[in-house]
Structure formats: C-alpha cells, structure tokens
Chain A
C-alpha cells in the first residue's frame, strides 16, 4: 500500500464510521456530577472578551474568533473542582465590576487600551485568576482550528520525519 492508498483507505473507513453526531458523542459524555457553577451567556461573552485581550487578532484571528470561551467554559465545568470554578468566576465578576468602578462601563464596553489596562491589573490584583485564564485561553486557542491552522503550521499527516532541517525564515511553529 502506498501512502496515498493508505490515507484514502483510512479516510474511507473512518468517514463511513464516524458521522458528525457520533464524533461529538464519542467523548466528553461525562460531566462533573452536576456540581458545577452555572455560567450565564453574559459570563461566556465576557470570557470571550478577556480571552481576546490575551490573544488578540493580529495578522491572524484572535481568541474570540476562535471561540475559545466555549473551551474555557467546558473545561472549567468538567475538569475542575467546584471551589476552583467558584474562584475563577468570582475573579471574572470582579474584573467586570472593577472596570465599572474605574471607567464607568463593563469590561466588554471598554476600548482596547482600557481592556489591556484592566487585564494588566488582574496580573497583580488577582494573579491566580489571570494565570488560569491565560492558560485556558492559550490552550483553547492553539488547539482551535483557527489557532492551529492560521497562527501555527498544521500538518496532521506528515508522512516522513527529518530531525535536523533548516528553519525557514518566518516559519511558524508546528501546531502538533
């Protein structure tokens, strides 16, 4: 079997086996025993705004465009104990209320410079929140389709390995 045949065979076999709904159901059917902090649509939108300050749109789309907030909500809900969730969302709420007291507007309504100032504020004021938010944003972004394919170089089936080759000027890091 040559490389093309092998890939074709795999695609065929998997394509017929795994439809979109099945694919979605394959994993993550387990959630955190119902003992989760409820996250409102406003909070989710706020997460997207904060994430977009950590990883903004540059020459490539940023965290909000990549839908990172959905990853953050899912991972916080299912993979962290309730007390960590509470601390995290308390930090988010605090960021928003401090935006209001400082600029008279919620975080989402601030201009770019003000948003950066507020996020910078959390690095000293609520470092645990900032670090968790940053970690989840970075992971969510670089494993998103936009992050992997546009911000990084994505090659799912390399087909060969060369351990020591020149780095081309401007070459992006591998996504995987």
Chain B
C-alpha cells in the first residue's frame, strides 16, 4: 500500500468528534481546552454565528408566506412537514426528505438537521436535571437495565455546564427535579401567577414554575466574555439568535474551542463508519464521505467521541462492522439499535381565562410554565409506571384570534387591533419505557446518496404510555378547572415516536457489557477509546427534556477520557 506520510499526518488528530450539536459542541470545547487537537466532523453545511441566521432579524412583511409551507415544500418534504419545526423560516436548517431517506415499519418522525450546530440551533431550550428517581427507576421497576450512574455522579457536571451555558429558572428544592445553577427566572403572566396559586392550594404536592430555559435572562461575566448578550425577548430563537442569548454550539461551545487554536471543523462531512484495528483492539479513525463531492477520506485519531444525535450515532455504529464486531461497533450485547425512546406528548387541556382584561404584557417570552412530575412519587401509585411533566402557559390573543366568523369591515378591524381574551393551556410530556423490541436497524440493501444503508424504524408507544396519556389529559383538565379556567377542553392530538425530537436510547449505558453498549463513563464497553455522549446513551428517558443531561454527560466523559489518555489507558 502506498502511504503518503505527510498527508497521513495531516489527517491525524488527537481526537475526532462526530457531530456538532449539543453533545458534539461540548466534546469539542472540553477536549480542545484540555490540550487535544480535535477534528469535528459535521454532515450539514456551514452556519456562521449571527451572519448565518438569515431570517432572524426579518420583519413579518419581509417573509413570503408568513411561515406557511409551499405546495412544493409539502410534496418534497412529506415527512418533515408532518409538524411545525419545518417551516418557511427554518427551511435551510433541516435535511431534505430526499436526502434523509429512512424506512418506517411503524411511523417514525425523524427530524434531522443539516447545519453546523445541529439541533442546538432549533431546540426548545427547556433544561432540566434528572434526579435519582430517574436513575433508580429501572432498577426499582425491574425494567430494562440499571443506570450505571446515580445523581451524585452527574450533579457536579450539571453545575459545571449550567454555569457556562446559562439556565434561567426558579429554585424549588424538589427531589424529583433538582435545581440548577440558575440565572434569574423569567416572569409569569398574571393568569399563570393566579393558576399557580390555585393549583398549589388545591393539589398538595404539585407546583407550577416558570420553564427552566437555556436563555440568558442576565448573563454572567463568563457568558459576556464569551461574546453573548442578554435575551431580548423577541421569541425568534429557532431562527438562530444574533445576540447569542440562548445556548447553541455557535453561541457557547464553539467560540472557546476555536480560541484554543486546536479545533478543525469540517462541515459537509458524512461519517459512514468507525475504523477498528483488530491488532490494536482500538478504533483508529473514521471514514468520511464528502457530502458534496462524494470523495472518500479517512481521518485518524486515538480518541473518538460519537455525538451524531442518538439515531445518527447508532446508524454509524451499526454500519461499523469488522471481524471483531460483525453486528455493529461495540455490539457484543446485541442491544445496539434497541430500547429506542422519545417522549410522548401532544395531550393536555386548555381553556379560557375570564378577568385580567386590564392586564397586558411587555416583550415576548420564549418560554412557558412547567409543572414538575408528581405521579408515582412518594405515596402516589398509578396503574402505569413513571410519570409526566407539563409545559404550557397563558397567553393573551391578538389579531390572530377568530372573532365573529362572518364579520368584516371597520368595526371588525378596530376589534382586532385590541388585545383579545386570555387563555391557559397545559401539555404533558410523558416518559416512554425502554422496550427492547422498540428498535432501529439498517437495511444494507438500500443506501442513501452517501452510501449509508437506510435506517429502518420499528417502534411504538405501548400500554404503559397509553394509560399515562389518560392521566395526562384528565389531570390537566382537573387542575385548570380547579384553578378557575373556563371552557376547559381535553385535547389529544396523538403522538408518534420521533415527533418530540427527544430521541433516546439505542446504545444504552449499563453496568454489564452483556446487556449494554456503554459503561458509566459513556465509554464503549468493548472498545475503550470510543465514547458516545448523545441521546443514544440514555438507559431510561425520564420525563424531562434531555439536552442538559447530554451536556453534563459529555463534559464528564471528556474529563474522564483525557485522564485515561494521560494514564495511557486509551
């Protein structure tokens, strides 16, 4: 074999990070800051901080369709257009359906970003800690396998990432929802303040707080020095924030990584597989297909962090076969691709609020309220396992409201220029159990344009989730009614896996290599120089939004990996 030594050197790094989203960004930051030369590979295109957010500062009249999708977009994006995250303003941030080929034995909504920063640009920014109620749940319930870590293992790392990322919220001291290192909480609407009081009075053990959100309500010196400014309350976060006011790779983790001079970021790089050296018993690098030219490249490194978003990560691992790993990388347990989870949601209740006609608000809060889980905690016992939290909030309608259907003219116009009635709604986010039979796998006979075998999804919500959903609707209605909300209606718009974009599992952490893919440090049991720190690692789903946990686990794993590297263990 002809070896171009210079080029070989150029293609060799201390570490490779696959993916540039929430987890990949943290991996790149932590590893470069600890002195490693890092190559970060991202399949999507470049998205420059601030100047790349083309729609972020547009006025409504500068859009074409006020956010609507065109017929062509609907026809060419039959899967993406199933729900709201794909719209006129975010079109460029998502992968085309024609590139994002996958198969559904059962319906699965796969939202795949196509940009540097990944979903850290469009995420909902809700940020909550898991608790020991979550970490102990599988063990206590006899479900799946036990988490190999407990809250005390991750708590300092939550604190570490929160102080950098910036999480705004209110301290509550709840065992099921540990407090973060908070920036000041955002304000509530009058209706929310009143509903909170009445819920707490009528339902001991339940509370309502303002959403805990990764927006800088009041930036610290660390955050200001990182080039970030306070939230301007425009509520346009998902377009990219020109003020760097919410956590994204671009606003928070990329600048310090770039500053070290040790980061190489290569967009439009589709990683197809890891390369395993049977003699060294280590991964030695990755194979990359250039997303545009389709040219093949091999990059080498002694340490690999796979952060390709849960399902992207597992697709790469399943496609990384060798003599040692005939069924996918690190897949001695056979669990790779299994235990696929997402939150189930789109069920709750809402109604109208009479009063407060003389009250209004100033600014647009990109956040709602949160009701922490209260089911199956303490003495509460339901006919299903686990629980749910609620997101939601009050609002005062504006011109969008439907006033007398057939009215028009001067009076109609004047009416719409005034604020309308208040309303209040709650929507549940429920935990989904890790079922072995809920899985993804590869169809090696069919490939996408980069030669990746197509992912096949075969996963569904089951009895436990269905029972929980009944509570999610009824409880919401009951709380709202007791709080004095009128015309309360339960809604259940149906939930399909993938839709909450909280994909988890498929390469779970565990104590035993025979039943899990990763150990308690997010390290592949069977190959110590490969780490997986995105949603794929989750052993159970909790009911809280998961991104903050990926941040903490990534920083923790990076710290462990560099220590191990220094000891010569990897």
Q: What are 5 A-to-B residue pairs whose CB atoms are below 8 Å?
A: A7-B232, A78-B70, A148-B60, A165-B360, A173-B399
Interface residues on A, range: 35 or more
Within 8 A of A (CB), among B510-539: none
Please tell me which one of the listed residues A3, A30, A127 contacts residue B230 in the complex, with CB atoms under 8 A apart.
A3
Contact A167 B360, beta carbon cutoff 8 Å: yes
For B57, B70, B89, B243, the residue with the greatest tally of chain A CB atoms inside 10 Å of its CB is B70
Indicate whether A41 reaches chain B with its CB closer than 8 angstroms: no
Indicate whether B5 reaches chain A with its CB closer than 8 angstroms: no
Contact A162 B361, beta carbon cutoff 8 Å: yes
Known contacts being A152-B399, A176-B364, is A161 close to B59, with CB within 8 Å? no
CA distance A159 to B245 in the complex (A): 11
Contacts of B56 in A (CB 8 A): 14
Known contacts being A151-B413, A157-B234, is A23 close to B62, with CB within 8 Å? yes
Known contacts being A161-B187, A175-B60, is A116 close to B409, with CB within 8 Å? yes
Contact B417 A81, beta carbon cutoff 8 Å: no
Please tell me which one of the listed residues B51, B55, B232, B358 contacts residue A158 in the complex, with CB atoms under 8 A apart.
B232
Please tell me which one of the listed residues A5, A14, A60 contacts residue B57 in the complex, with CB atoms under 8 A apart.
A14
Within 8 A of A (CB), among B42-80: 50-51, 54-66, 68-73, 75
Contact B416 A142, beta carbon cutoff 8 Å: yes
Contact B361 A157, beta carbon cutoff 8 Å: no
Kindly provide the distance from the CB of B124 to the nearest chain A CB, expressed in whole angstroms: 17
CA distance A160 to B227 in the complex (A): 19
Within 8 A of A (CB), among B414-441: 414, 416-420
Contacts of A130 in B (CB 8 A): 406
CA distance A161 to B245 in the complex (A): 14
Please tell me which one of the listed residues A27, A54, A127, A138 contacts residue B409 in the complex, with CB atoms under 8 A apart.
A54
Contacts of A79 in B (CB 8 A): 65, 68-71
Contact B60 A13, beta carbon cutoff 8 Å: no
A-B contacts besides A80-B71, A163-B186, A164-B188, 10 pairs, CB < 8 Å: A16-B51, A17-B51, A23-B58, A27-B89, A75-B65, A79-B71, A148-B59, A160-B362, A163-B361, A164-B189
Contacts of B133 in A (CB 8 A): none
Kindly provide the distance from the CB of B517 to the nearest chain A CB, expressed in whole angstroms: 41
Residues of B within 8 A of A (CB): 50-51, 54-66, 68-73, 75, 88-89, 91, 186-190, 192-193, 224, 227-235, 242-243, 357-365, 398-399, 405-406, 408-410, 412-414, 416-420
Contacts of B231 in A (CB 8 A): 161
Kindly provide the distance from the CB of A75 to the nearest chain B CB, expressed in whole angstroms: 5
CA distance A3 to B364 in the complex (A): 16
Please tell me which one of the listed residues B61, B62, B75, B363 contacts residue A159 in the complex, with CB atoms under 8 A apart.
B363
CA distance A176 to B91 in the complex (A): 21
Please tell me which one of the listed residues A56, A123, A164 contacts residue B361 in the complex, with CB atoms under 8 A apart.
A164
Contacts of B54 in A (CB 8 A): 17-18, 26
Contact A162 B51, beta carbon cutoff 8 Å: no
Indicate whether A38 reaches chain B with its CB closer than 8 angstroms: no
Indicate whether A31 reaches chain B with its CB closer than 8 angstroms: yes
Indicate whether A119 reaches chain B with its CB closer than 8 angstroms: yes
Indicate whether A21 reaches chain B with its CB closer than 8 angstroms: no
Known contacts being A79-B70, A81-B71, A167-B358, is A14 close to B64, with CB within 8 Å? no
Known contacts being A78-B70, A164-B193, A167-B358, is A156 close to B51, with CB within 8 Å? no
For A58, A80, A161, A172, the residue with the greatest tally of chain B CB atoms inside 10 Å of its CB is A161
Residues of A within 8 A of B (CB): 1-3, 5-7, 9-11, 13-14, 16-18, 23, 26-28, 30-33, 53-56, 58, 60, 62, 71, 74-75, 78-81, 116, 119, 123, 127, 130-131, 134, 138-140, 142-145, 148, 151-152, 156-168, 171-176
Contacts of B416 in A (CB 8 A): 138, 142, 151, 173
> Which partner residue on chain A sits nearest B52 by CB separation?
A17
> Which partner residue on chain B sits nearest A137 by CB separation?
B408
CA distance A152 to B410 in the complex (A): 15
CA distance A14 to B542 in the complex (A): 40
Kindly provide the distance from the CB of B550 to the nearest chain A CB, expressed in whole angstroms: 28
Kindly provide the distance from the CB of A139 to the nearest chain B CB, expressed in whole angstroms: 6
Contacts of B408 in A (CB 8 A): 53-55, 119, 134
Contact B419 A173, beta carbon cutoff 8 Å: yes
CA distance A60 to B234 in the complex (A): 25
Contacts of B399 in A (CB 8 A): 138, 142, 152, 173, 175
Contact A30 B70, beta carbon cutoff 8 Å: yes
Contacts of B361 in A (CB 8 A): 161-165
Contacts of A75 in B (CB 8 A): 65-66, 68
> Which partner residue on chain B sits nearest A116 by CB separation?
B409
CA distance A143 to B413 in the complex (A): 14
Contact B362 A173, beta carbon cutoff 8 Å: no
> Which partner residue on chain A sits nearest B362 by CB separation?
A162
Contacts of B60 in A (CB 8 A): 143-144, 148, 175-176
Please tell me which one of the listed residues A74, A145, A161 contacts residue B362 in the complex, with CB atoms under 8 A apart.
A161
Kindly provide the distance from the CB of B60 to the nearest chain A CB, expressed in whole angstroms: 4
Contact A163 B418, beta carbon cutoff 8 Å: no
Contact B360 A74, beta carbon cutoff 8 Å: no
Contact A1 B417, beta carbon cutoff 8 Å: no
CA distance A9 to B188 in the complex (A): 30
Contacts of A161 in B (CB 8 A): 186-187, 231, 233, 361-365
Contact A163 B187, beta carbon cutoff 8 Å: yes
For A156, A164, A172, the residue with the greatest tally of chain B CB atoms inside 10 Å of its CB is A164
Kindly provide the distance from the CB of B221 to the nearest chain A CB, expressed in whole angstroms: 11
CA distance A106 to B433 in the complex (A): 65
CA distance A172 to B415 in the complex (A): 10
Contact B419 A10, beta carbon cutoff 8 Å: no
Contact B71 A55, beta carbon cutoff 8 Å: no
Contacts of B186 in A (CB 8 A): 161, 163
> Which partner residue on chain A sits nearest B243 by CB separation?
A6
